[in-house]
Structure 1
Amino acid sequence: MPPKVKEGNCSLWIFQNLIGCIILTELCRIQGAIITHNKDVELGGKATLRCTPSKLYETTQVTWQKQMNGSLVNIAVYHNVRGPKIVLPDAQFNFTVLGVNETAITFWNASIQDNGCYQCIFNTFPLGPVTGKPCLSVYAHLNTFIHYKTSKTHTDATCFATSFPHPQISWLTQGGKMNEKQVTNPNGTVSVMSSIFLNTSESQVGQELICRVKHRGKEVDLKLALPGRGHSHKNHAVLILLSIMPMVLPMN
């Protein structure tokens, strides 16, 4: 015979579970309830990250966090009584919207260290934290050039690209010995140096050697014409100068 369940205990159990389901449903519903917009900003420029709840909550505090060294770190806090506080030392940003119903921080001199995704956390009652995740993409303009030297039997060329995010260099040619190095500069930009050593034959006279640089969804081609054996240094130096202008192409 199955055990009997007291009616009062059963009603209490149903009520507790119903309340739990309502809270869980509400927590699931408010995920993504913070309106945010990602921003792109040039190195040294100004950008604002903003978080706006899609509905009003009873909020006591807004906390901004950033992923640093694998952990989320508090960088700024606004409390409805104590006001704003910038937690991160030497921060190049501050609050530009004060309040617990909307929040914004502005970067006045964006650096590579500011690049990344952030969290704006609204501490609400009784639902708990409601989170938005805006991202800031810091970029530097691409600088490129190509340097070369030739002899009667070979061409030795080096393609340089400096930017942020990390530029990618490839050579559009068959054969050759390639080598690549990269250096992170004091301002956080990355310089990539890619070299190629080619043996030159008469069959390659007039063919183009192309250094292709990819950066932020675009391609830049730096071109030079391969000289044949016995071709003078002066003549192919002119060809380099004529073909060094970059061509920007959309990436597939």
Structure 2
Amino acid sequence: MSCFGVLLYVVAVFISGAFEKALTAVIQTQQTVLAAVGEDAEFSCQLLETKDVLQVTWQKISHDVETNVATYSKYFGERVNDGFTNKVEFKHTGLQNCSIVIKNVTEQDEGCYRCLFNTYPEGSFIGTPCLQVYELHEPVVDVRESNSTEEWVVSCSATGRPAPTVTLSVSQQDLNFSQYNTVSVSNTNATFTVTTTAVLSGSCKHSTQVGCAARVLSAPHREVTVTTPDDDDDGLDEKSNHINFGSRTLVILSSAVLLFACVAALISVWLRKKSQSSQSHRPVEMNDMAT
């Protein structure tokens, strides 16, 4: 590398630290990046105006402290700083367009990141995308009969961070939900469990599909669907369960009787052999010898 190139690099670093300008108008980037826990998050910045860029620097901002994450320059290529080598990697490198990926995001990765296009002599053009990490687990639906034959009690729980929004739905148009009740519980791991319960009213004699959707922020929702039991099927199931219970009882009783008979036979054989053995070892009496 020429001395002139090294000089330009030093000047760029000096400018980024001492004469940094908040020139954000010409940077195209995401305002907020949403990523679920365990997923990868991508940040990209594009300099819309052609500038003489010497280096692109990525920084993480935490509690107003700026930490250099990675840099890219024409002379030194890609460089990921210590502490981020297993966390951050470049996806696209360029002096006008650059992007990085944060792998397997956690709560600790949440915050804002800066992309600085260090130019000479104008200074640094800055973009500041922010990462928001969320967590959302699959909802759990419970459907049970109400005291009324025309009603079902539907309950759905979803756990996430921040607190998720839980929505119930039903496929059959002549059915409707009422008496909504929503409870939110804060968990020790900073997540929230939200449970929504409602009464499904209408003609519930036939099975119908009940859905539950859980949402966090503007991230993709998670939804599950269950089918309510059919009244006719319930009767068949109860009858079948009764028959199965009777069959199991009969088998158990038969097995017990057979086992008792086997044990009794073994005891009888053992007593008979013991009696025979005692008779064969009986002492000979004097009358027997005289005879």
Normalised TM-score (structure 1): 0.52
- SS at the partner of 1:174? strand
Residues 184-240 of structure 1: per-residue CA shift (max 9 Å, x gap):
75xx8x553415376x9xx8662989664342365847567699xxx89956x99xx
The residue identity in structure 2 corresponding to 1:74 is: T
Q: 1:45 to 1:220 in 2, by over 3 A?
A: closer
Structure 1 Cα separation of the partners of residues 85 and 162 of structure 2: 23
Report whether the alignment pairs 1:179 with 2:183.
yes
Structure 2 Cα separation of the partners of residues 58 and 191 of structure 1: 49
For 1:11, the equivalent position in structure 2 comes to none
CA RMSD of aligned residues (A): 4.9
The offset of 1:182, in angstroms, is 4.6
Whether the 8 Å contact between 1:148 and 1:156 is mirrored in structure 2 is: yes
For 1:106, the equivalent position in structure 2 comes to 101
The offset of 1:174, in angstroms, is 2.6
- SS at the partner of 1:175? strand
Q: Which has the higher strand share?
A: 1
The residue identity in structure 1 corresponding to 2:204 is: G
Structure 2 Cα separation of the partners of residues 129 and 184 of structure 1: 43
Residues 13-33 of structure 1: per-residue CA shift (max 9 Å, x gap):
xxxxxxxxxxxxxx89x6332
For 2:248, the equivalent position in structure 1 comes to none
Q: 1:142 to 1:79 in 2, by over 3 A?
A: closer
Whether the 8 Å contact between 1:180 and 1:194 is mirrored in structure 2 is: yes
For 1:147, the equivalent position in structure 2 comes to 142
The offset of 1:159, in angstroms, is 1.0
The offset of 1:53, in angstroms, is 2.0
The offset of 1:98, in angstroms, is 5.3
- SS at the partner of 2:178? coil
Aligned residue pairs total: 200
Structure 1 Cα separation of the partners of residues 131 and 166 of structure 2: 25
Q: 1:210 to 1:121 in 2, by over 3 A?
A: same
Q: Which has the higher helix share?
A: 2
Structure 1 Cα separation of the partners of residues 101 and 123 of structure 2: 26
Report whether the alignment pairs 1:74 with 2:67.
yes
Whether the 8 Å contact between 2:138 and 2:222 is mirrored in structure 1 is: no
**Which consecutive residues of structure 1, in runs of 5 or more, have no partner in the other structure?**
1-26, 239-252
Q: 1:166 to 1:63 in 2, by over 3 A?
A: farther
**Which consecutive residues of structure 2, in runs of 5 or more, have no partner in the other structure?**
1-20, 170-176, 239-291
2:51 is aligned, of 32, 40, 57, to: 57
The offset of 1:165, in angstroms, is 6.4
Residues 120-156 of structure 1: per-residue CA shift (max 9 Å, x gap):
0123333222112345566667612212445637966
Identity among equivalent positions (%) equals: 21
- SS at the partner of 1:143? coil
Q: 1:176 to 1:59 in 2, by over 3 A?
A: closer
For 2:251, the equivalent position in structure 1 comes to none
For 2:158, the equivalent position in structure 1 comes to 161
Whether the 8 Å contact between 1:53 and 1:101 is mirrored in structure 2 is: yes
The residue identity in structure 2 corresponding to 1:109 is: N
Normalised TM-score (structure 2): 0.47
The residue identity in structure 2 corresponding to 1:168 is: T
Q: 1:92 to 1:168 in 2, by over 3 A?
A: same
The residue identity in structure 1 corresponding to 2:71 is: Y
